[in-house]
Amino acid sequence: MINLTINGKAITAPEGSTILEAARANGIDIPTLCYDKAVEVYGACGLCVVEAEGIPKLLRSCSAKVSEGMVVNTESERVVRSRKIAMELLMSAHDGDCVAPCQLNCPARTDCQGYVGLIANGEYDAAIKLIKNKISLPASIGRVCPHPCEKACRRQNVEEPINIAQLKAFAADMDLKADSYMPDVQESTGKKVAIIGGGPAGLTAAYYLTIMGHSVTVYDMMEKMGGMLRYGIPQYRLPKEVLDKEISLIEKTGVKFVNNSKLGKDFTIESLKAENDAVIVAVGAWKSSSMRTPGEELDGVYGGIDFLRGVIQGNAPEIGEKVAICGGGNTAMDACRTAVRLGAKEVYVVYRRTRAEMPADKLEIDEAEEEGVIYKFLTNPLSFNGEDGKVKSITLQVMELGEPDASGRRRPVPVEGKTEEIAVDSVILAIGQKLVQGDVSELELNERGNIVADADFFTTSIDGVFAIGDATNRGASIAIEAIGEADRCAKAVDAYLNGQELDTRVPYISKRDEDTIDYSDREKKDRVNPKVLPADVRNKNFDEVSLGFTEDEAKAEADRCLECGCREYYKCKFLNVAQRYDINPERFKGEMPQKYSHDENAFIERNTSKCILCGLCVRSCREVMKLSSIGLMGRGFTTDVSPAFSLPLDETNCNNCGLCVQLCPTGSLTEKFNLPKQVPLNEQYSEEFVEIDGKKSSVVVSRYNGKILRVIPNDEVSRNSGLSREQLRALVD
């Protein structure tokens, strides 16, 4: 035995063993991407380098042997620097998306590609489980979300984005119909958390903290839970029955609800804090913003959310026949379409820019118009004019578009001296909403008048008190933003309650350069939208406008997904090593070595643009299987792995043993799933044994949600059996 020291730890190792073997045998992890016991050492990746005292060069630990008295450092500054640059260089030439852009653009990081793919495959229960990892109110959010995911969806480069939000609503509706999914709740921690506010933020935090085993109580000032989802979104867009069902599922996990209980009146933050281990403030923004226009104080001028709440609560304010809504966002749309449904004859939307700049969802803008709403674009209220204290007309300043402002939209500027007057019975101001400051006077506020909350930890000026959602930092935003914060806040509170440190590092993700993607080979398929009630029917009632997807529609729509995210994301060794070092491959951004291309047969898919040239596939095919079906081609930067003579894999002597796939440390070689639509899933792997020709043989089985996704031969017998994947799967089943 040889005595040596690794990272200050005295160890012994058999003579002739490598530093890597010695380190691993002693629980010291040295990263490698080209090493595998099955094949001869290669030394390509250079990640296994270590420093040994007295040796000027870095040693590749996969090949350097231990020697008596050797003093090795596997994480010295020089070693880390070398590995970091190696990873940055590798990543700079790795043309792949770890995660689909839809998921990255969702503020809650919902795995959109995952559930869309599962829906395409008819795996609805798996889809809802995946969704509920991030969203506890998917049927509601699916209906109301302005879907940033769809804005990032690459399908729009072919024709139109995938209808991701509606697919989510579809999967959630399927789940609500029968035997709804209930998450496993962890054993009680004995910790108590109070949450102030039962809107999307508060409910989400409650749901995830409860699943983690904490005892959570939500306090809300209103009669029922749901916050703005209930009191700010009209019935025709989100039926309260749907919301009720979803909230009741949250309640079923064990969350305690206390309604009609108001901060500052029934309790204070301090009082809750005294009774709980942590408090989360998620009170939202319940005050309509002012336009600071003369005449706002007149009777008949209402705040947008106040108006909507009144209607929902059954005490709609008097609006008369002529109504003007000021604003261009989704609240303005909700207000004007509600006004139409209340029977107003002339409903105007006054907006200072044009239709193209309206922040509201395009579908909403179109549907409102179909219902009879009149748009007054390029106008801005100069004054609300009244008689006897009651609003009678609006003087509008006519605007035109000037130079683009900071948001990139063209700035509206008044046309000197040009005004217009319209007669109205009421005005609804839907230009934004604000926190009611008096409620949270115990906390430090910022210059915008919102609660100061840490961006990563959600901590406030009081220890143990956290804040999320519309009431914090930059103010009101969309529900999914608050839900994302709530999910992350739940983790932060959990870490706080357990006295653990929260890892706030943003994991490194490889992203393709959008400009380099070619869609010319994609077949055009129209986006499927759910059917809606006819405009002349729906404008007279509050029935839900959308009829939702049928199963066939949902599957057809989900099938349009381009499958941007990598199927090997969850088991990518390359990505895993990337997380160990704080890498910045951007600084080496340059040409990509290979054109993004696929080559596939029934089981194996090759994508050399993701290849990191570790050589494991080529070497295992040659050394273990003695086949050499694939080899290295070209030189330098454009070196590539290619089937023999550049033939399609099926025309070589490849026997589909899958060894190359098994050893590929990234997503360059993958085995397809036993699913019609390929989708990245966090599979569970297990080694299992089957009998082939009377011989016991090992296979690796991957399952997801109980279903076998792939069966990969794992020894000489199964690799040389000649059995197809279907036959192997039948043996496992």
Partner 1 sequence: MRIVIGQGSCGIAAGAEKVRKALLNTNINKDDISITGCIGMCYLEPIVDIYDDNNEVTRLVQVSENDAETIAQYAQSGDKSLLDKLIVSDEDSEFLTKQTRIALRNCGIINPEKIDEYVGAGGYEAIKKALTKMTPEEVIDVVKTSGIGGRGGAGFPTWFKWNAARSSEGEEKYLICNADEGDPGAFMDRAVIESDPHNLIEGMLIGAYAIGAKHAVVYVRAEYPLAIKRLKKAIEQAKEKGLIGNNIFGTDFSCDFMIKAGAGAFVCGEETALIESLEGHRGMPRLKPPFPAQSGFWRKPSNINNVETFANIAWIINNGGEAFAAMGTEGSKGTKVFAVTGKVKRSGLVEIPMGKTLRDVIFDIGGGMKTDKDFKAVQMGGPSGGCIPANLIDTVIDYKALGATGAIMGSGGMVVMDESTCMVGMAKFFLDFTAKESCGKCIHCRIGTKRMLEMLDRITKGEGKEGDIELLEELCYSIKDGALCGLGQTAPNPVLTTIKYFRDEYEAHIKDKKCPAGECSDLIEYRIDADKCKGCTLCARNCPVNAISGEVKKPHIIDTDKCIKCGKCYTVCKFGAVVKE
Q: Tell me the two tokens of residue 671.
A: 């085995």
Shortest distance in whole angstroms from residue 49 CB to partner 1: 7
Shortest distance in whole angstroms from residue 335 CB to partner 1: 51
Mask of contacts with partner 1, 531-570, x by CB under 8 A? Answer: ----------------------------------------
| # binding residues, partner 1 (CB under 8 A) | 39
Task: Specify the amino acid at residue 301.
Answer: V
Instruction: Pick the piece of the chain touching partner 1 (CB under 8 A) from 90-98, 257-265, 494-502, 519-527.
Output: 90-98
3-state secondary structure of 554: helix
**Which residue blocks in 299-440 are alpha helix, DSSP H?**
304-312, 330-341, 362-370
Q: Which phi and psi (to 5°) does residue 216 adopt? A: -115, 135
* One residue of 3, 25, 78, 730 binding partner 1 per CB under 8 A: 78
Residue in 232, 217, 233 with CA at minimum distance from that of residue 275:
217
Q: Is position 258 an interface residue for partner 1 (rule: CB under 8 A)?
A: no
Q: Is position 283 an interface residue for partner 1 (rule: CB under 8 A)?
A: no
Q: In whole angstroms, give the CA distance from residue 138 to residue 135.
A: 6
Q: Tell me the two tokens of residue 707.
A: 């279903």
Nearer to partner 1, 61 or 714 (CB): 61
Q: Is position 16 an interface residue for partner 1 (rule: CB under 8 A)?
A: no
Q: In whole angstroms, give the CA distance from residue 477 to residue 200.
A: 12
Instruction: Pick the piece of the chain touching partner 1 (CB under 8 A) from 20-28, 79-87, 203-211, 440-448.
Output: 79-87
Residues 593-652 that bind partner 1 (CB under 8 A): 593, 612-613, 615, 631-632, 634-639
Residue in 450, 459, 465 with CA at minimum distance from that of residue 284:
450
Nearer to partner 1, 86 or 250 (CB): 86
Q: Tell me the two tokens of residue 492.
A: 């932060």
3-state secondary structure of 305: helix
Torsion angle of C-alpha atoms 127, 132, 136, 140, degrees rounded to 10? -20
User: Which letter does DSSP use for residue 428 in this model?
Assistant: E
* One residue of 4, 22, 23, 86 binding partner 1 per CB under 8 A: 86
Nearer to partner 1, 83 or 567 (CB): 83
* One residue of 2, 17, 24, 43 binding partner 1 per CB under 8 A: 43
Contact between 253 and 230 (Cβ < 8 Å): no
* One residue of 63, 73, 261, 601 binding partner 1 per CB under 8 A: 63
Q: Is position 92 an interface residue for partner 1 (rule: CB under 8 A)?
A: yes
Shortest distance in whole angstroms from residue 517 CB to partner 1: 21
Show contacts of 292-295: CB within 8 Å, 24+ apart.
293/381, 293/382, 293/383, 293/384, 294/382, 294/383, 294/384, 295/383, 295/384, 295/385, 295/386, 295/391
Residue 676, H or E segment = none
Q: Is position 358 an interface residue for partner 1 (rule: CB under 8 A)?
A: no
* One residue of 19, 22, 46, 308 binding partner 1 per CB under 8 A: 46
Q: Tell me the two tokens of residue 124.
A: 């609805």
Q: In whole angstroms, give the CA distance from residue 184 to residue 134.
A: 15
Question: For the purposes of burial, counting CB atoms within 10 Å of the CB of 190, is it exposed (0-12), middle (13-18) or buried (19 or more)?
Answer: exposed
Shortest distance in whole angstroms from residue 56 CB to partner 1: 10
* One residue of 4, 6, 13, 42 binding partner 1 per CB under 8 A: 42
Nearer to partner 1, 269 or 663 (CB): 663
Residue 705, H or E segment = none
Q: Is position 60 an interface residue for partner 1 (rule: CB under 8 A)?
A: yes
Nearer to partner 1, 58 or 443 (CB): 58
Instruction: Pick the piece of the chain touching partner 1 (CB under 8 A) from 204-212, 430-438, 586-594, 692-700.
Output: 586-594
* One residue of 5, 26, 65, 287 binding partner 1 per CB under 8 A: 65
Number of other residues whose CB lies within 10 A of the CB of residue 518: 10
* One residue of 45, 221, 250, 479 binding partner 1 per CB under 8 A: 45
Q: Which residues pair with 5 in a beta bridge?
A: 10, 71
Binding site for partner 1 (CB under 8 A): 41-46, 49, 57-58, 60, 62-65, 78, 81-82, 85-86, 89-90, 92-93, 587-588, 590-591, 593, 612-613, 615, 631-632, 634-639
